[in-house]
Structures are given as structure tokens and as C-alpha cells.
Amino acid sequence: MSSNLLEVKNLKKSFGGLQAVDIKELKFKKNQLTSIIGPNGAGKTTFFDLISGFQTADSGDIFLNGDDISNSQPYQIARMGMIRTFQLTKVFDRMTVLENLMFSGSSVTNDSFTKSIINTKKQRNYEIELKDKSYEIMEDLNISHMADSYARELSGGQKKLLELARSIINNPETLLLDEPLAGVNPKLAEDLLDLIQKLASSGISILMVEHNIEAVMKISERIVVLSEGTLIADGSPNDIRNDQSVIEAYLGKDDE
């Protein structure tokens, strides 16, 4: 039971009469790269919101490493090791790239109000280490030349890189990537995909919502398909490629 990373049971969420999510059972194992796909309105982002605590389900249970997180706050879930990104890239506009990262990497105790007033030697050393770590990640992702620029000056693609960098600075156990390739040029999409694969092989469990089917087929170990809030297929890329119900779901939507 607890060997599963993430488990979802009888998860239901509706908005004013529209059933957005209705999933009987879904389990995710550790160290896997799973993609969640489905036509528009399938409930993918709502699903993400529910498991990351940004929305509360009408009914059902969610377990992370065996712990019940159905009613947990987003920050609590993040502290348990599951970090998410957002469909509309969220960066801290009026802070520099470096500050964006240092904030994200800073522990809650380091951020403490009293500590910040006293400014102990320990805090100062921590900040120096934090800065080094931030630079390391920026270099890995090729954005270190923007370290002192304000995040709002970054291009769309660079913002995605920043959001990603921010999410991994604390070595999360699980990453929820919400459309990481959306609106990104093909070259950058390739780089991002490589990066995601590297992260997956370094031991991070990844759940990815994506519309780019080619990319999904390329790197996913497992694909979960949602349509109109329910699970309609679940398997390896090959299974999904040939699944009739999936094809219908996508075609059906196109007809509308």
C-alpha cells in the first residue's frame, strides 16, 4: 500500500453542475515518469490542483507516501516533497532571477522573522551556500547570465526554465509539471525534454500534464489518459498509441 508514491481514490470534483474530475482509482509508483494527457477540458489541471492542494475535492481520498493529504494545504504538500509548476508560468516578476532561486531554496527556518532581525553568522553562511547552489542550477539550465535581471524581463522560454530551476532547487521527491512545453519554441522544447529526462533518471518521480503528444510518447514510461474528468486509458506509450477509446476521445473533441 504505502509503496505507492501517490494514490487517489474516488476523487470527485464538480463546478456548478459540471463534473470536472471523477476518478475511481489511480496509483503512481516512485521513480517513474508519467504523463497525463487528454483533450481540452478533460480535467487534467483540476486533477493537478486537487493533488497539490490548490483545490479541495468534493469527495475522495488522496495519499502521498501513505499519508492522507486530501485536506492538506498546498504549502504542506510541498513540504512533503511534491513540488508543482503552473500552466501559466509563475515567477516572481519584480525580483531578480537569483532572488527567485534563493527564495525557493531557502528553508522555512532560514526565512524566520526573528532570525532575520538578528542576522546570525549561521544565517549568513547559509545564505552564501544558498547563493552558490542557485548559481549551480542556473548554470546547469543556462540562465546564469540573467542572474541579476528581474524575472519579468525574461523571455517566455527563460521563465519556464526559471520555474523549473526553482522547483528542483530543493531536490523534491516528486515533480508535478503542468504543461512544461506550452508555447515554447521547438529548440527549447528539446532542451526542456532532455532536462526532464535527466531529472527523471536522477531519481525524481515526475507527473507531467502535456498536450505535445510527440514529446509525451518520446519520454514517458507510462501514460494516463483523461477525458471529461474520467480515466479512459492507462499504459505504456505503445498501448496508448493504439488505444481506440483514446483516438475517439481526441477525434470526438475535434468534431465539436
Partner 1 sequence: MSSLLISKRVLFAIAITSFSIYLVFLLNPEGALRILINLLTFAGIYGLSAIGLNVHFGWTGLLNFGHASFMGMGAYVTLLLMPHAAGREGEVTTTGFPIIIAVFVGIAAAALFGLLLGLPAIRLRGDYLAIVTIAAAEIFRLLVRDLESITGGVYGIISYTENLQKFRPEFINSLSLNYEFAPSQAWVGIIAWVSIILTLFLLKRLNSSPWGRALRAVREDEDAVRAMGKNAVWLKLQSFMLGAGIAGLSGVLLAFNYGSLETTVFVPLLTFYVWAIMILGGVGSLTGPIFGSIIFWVIISETDRLAYIFFENANGQQLAGFRFLLVGLLIMLLMIFRPSGLLGKKEELLLDVK
Q: Which residues bind partner 1 (CB under 8 A)?
A: 52-54, 73-75, 78-79, 83-86, 90-95, 99, 102-104, 106, 108, 110-113, 115-117, 119, 123, 127, 166-167, 170
CB of 8 to partner 1, least distance (A): 19
| Complex with partner 1: residue 73 or 185, whichever CB lies closer | 73
- Rounded distance between C-alpha atoms, residue 171 and residue 162, angstroms: 15
Minimum distance from residue 90 beta carbon to partner 1 (Å): 4
- Please list the residues that pair with 223 across neighbouring strands: 35, 235
Q: Which residue, 94 or 187, is less far from partner 1 as judged by CB?
A: 94
Closer residue to partner 1 in complex, CB, 50/249: 50
Grid cell, residue 27, equals 496509483
Contacts of 64 (CB under 8 A, 6+ apart): 5, 6, 51, 77, 80, 81, 82, 174
Amino acid occupying residue 41: G
- Are 225 and 248 a contacting pair, CB within 8 Å? no
**CB-nearer residue toward partner 1: 99 or 234:** 99
- Smallest separation (angstroms) from partner 1 to the CB of 98: 11
| Closest separation in Å from C-beta 141 to partner 1 | 17
Taking the complex as a whole, the smallest distance from the CB of residue 126 to partner 1 amounts, in Å, to 8
CB nearer partner 1, residue 36 or residue 249: 36
Handedness of CA 234, 237, 238, 243 (dihedral sign): positive
What minimum distance in Å lies between the beta carbon of 202 and partner 1? 20
In the complex with partner 1, the residue whose CB is nearer, 55 or 227, is: 55
Q: What are the grid coordinates assigned to 108, written together?
A: 522555512
